[in-house]
Amino acid sequence: MQRPPSTRSTAWQAGAAAAFALAMTACAPLGQPPPGSAAAPPVAVGEPQLRERAKENLDLGLRQYERGEYRDAETSLAASLDHGLLSAGEQSAARKYLAFIFCVSEREARCRDEFRKALEIDPAFNLGTAEIGHPVWGPIYRNVREQLASAAAPAAQSAAQPAPKPAAPMTPAGRLLADGLAKYDAGEFAAAFKLLQGALKEGLAEKPDRIRAHKHAAFSLCLLRRYASCRGEFMKIFAIDPEFDLAPAEASHPSWTKTFAAAKRRAAAARPASRSR
């Protein structure tokens, strides 16, 4: 006849089972709910939070761009566009700086694409005066804008439009200036310098035109690595306008940053001496 288990044996078995269950629970992977418990539902991220995150990425990308951290700026600006929650103006701004980054890193196709998207989002989008004159992305932006305008021309022609007013005749100096700037935009810097010098010799009546001619002549010379002559053109600008300065987009160009700074120091040092005479 089999003997019934003793009270001590039964208690020992119950304790062993409880210890085994506790050990199995402790060995479960971290972050996993214990067996038999319900998993916590994921935290939902709403549109307001996504929009705020997009704006934070945009602000961060612009700060990184200003500090010259172009790779980080590219990542932040692209992230700001992920969900399409920025306003049209904010999206255009993000795509503008992405285009700048792609242009200066010789990724022209992506630069063109970002300018095209910025214009499609906001047809009124435009670059500032200093930005549009930049030798790297200025010509690409203008070309993209012209292509989009040409594509939209057939629809615009169907609407009746008043006849345009005849343009004022251009002076010989003005024509030389326009031709010199066109050559500069085309990357023909030696030809641009020659035409710009011709415009100055012919006589440009307006002070801004004279400054513009000297400035692009200086840019052309620096790009041709004729740095002493480039500095001389900058000095001529300071003779016309002692308070002249380049726009931020122009001043940061590596081909003439140091040359312009040297000319600016010389002009500043010469001014007190000239007043004391």
Longest dimension (CA), the chain: 132
Q: How far is CA 231 from CA 70, 185, 194, 239, 259, in A?
A: 29, 21, 17, 13, 6
**pLDDT tens digit sequence for 80-109:** 888 777 888 888 888 999 999 998 888 888
Can you tell me the mean pLDDT for 266-274? 76
* Structural domain count of the chain: 2
CB atoms within 10 A of CB 49: 11
Q: Are residues 74 and 144 in the same domain?
A: yes
Q: In degrees rounded to 5, what are phi and psi of residue 104?
A: -75, -20
Q: What is the pLDDT of residues 222-263, one digit of tens each?
A: 999 999 999 999 999 999 999 999 888 787 888 888 999 999
Whole-structure pTM value = 0.44
Whether 107 and 54 share a structural domain: yes
Residue 81 forms part of a structural domain: yes
Residue 83 lies in a domain: yes
142 shares its domain with 221: no
* CA–CA dist 192, 215 (Å, integer): 12
Phi, psi of 40 (to 5 degrees): -70, 140
136 and 177 assigned to the same domain: no
Tell me the mean pLDDT in the region 63-79: 90
Within a 13 Å sphere around the CA of 122, how many CA atoms are in the beta-carbon half?
18
Distance CA(60)–CA(77), nearest Å, equals 8
Domain of 59?
48-151
Residue 223: inside a domain: yes
Residue 182 and residue 215 in one domain: yes
Q: What's the CA gap between 185 and 239, in Å, rounded?
A: 26
Q: Same domain, yes or no, for 179 and 269? A: yes
What phi and psi, each to the nearest 5 degrees, are found at residue 39? -70, 145
Is position 167 within any domain?
Answer: no
The percent of residues above 70 in pLDDT, for the chain, comes to 75
Contact, 76 vs 69, CB < 8 A?
no
Whether 249 is in a domain gets the answer: yes
User: Can you say whether the dihedral through the CA atoms of 86, 89, 90, 93 is positive or negative?
Assistant: positive
Domain boundary among 151, 182, 211: 151
144-168 residue pLDDT tens: 888 888 877 665 555 555 665 665 5
Residue 117 falls within a domain, yes or no? yes
Query: 95 in a domain, yes or no?
Result: yes
pLDDT of residue 37: 55
- Assess if residue 160 is contained within a domain: no
> How high is the pLDDT of residue 266?
92
pLDDT band at 1 (very low <50, low <70, confident <90, very high): very low
pLDDT of residue 274: 46
Q: What pLDDT does 211 receive? A: 94
Tell which residue, 88, 86, 138, 131, has the closest CA to residue 112. Answer: 138
For position 161, what pLDDT does the model report? 59
Kindly report the CATH number assigned to the domain that includes residue 127.
Answer: 1.25.40.10
d(CA 266, CA 243): 13
Q: What confidence tens digit (pLDDT) does each residue in 14-52 have?
A: 555 555 555 555 454 444 555 555 555 555 567 788 888
Mean pLDDT of 217-226: 93
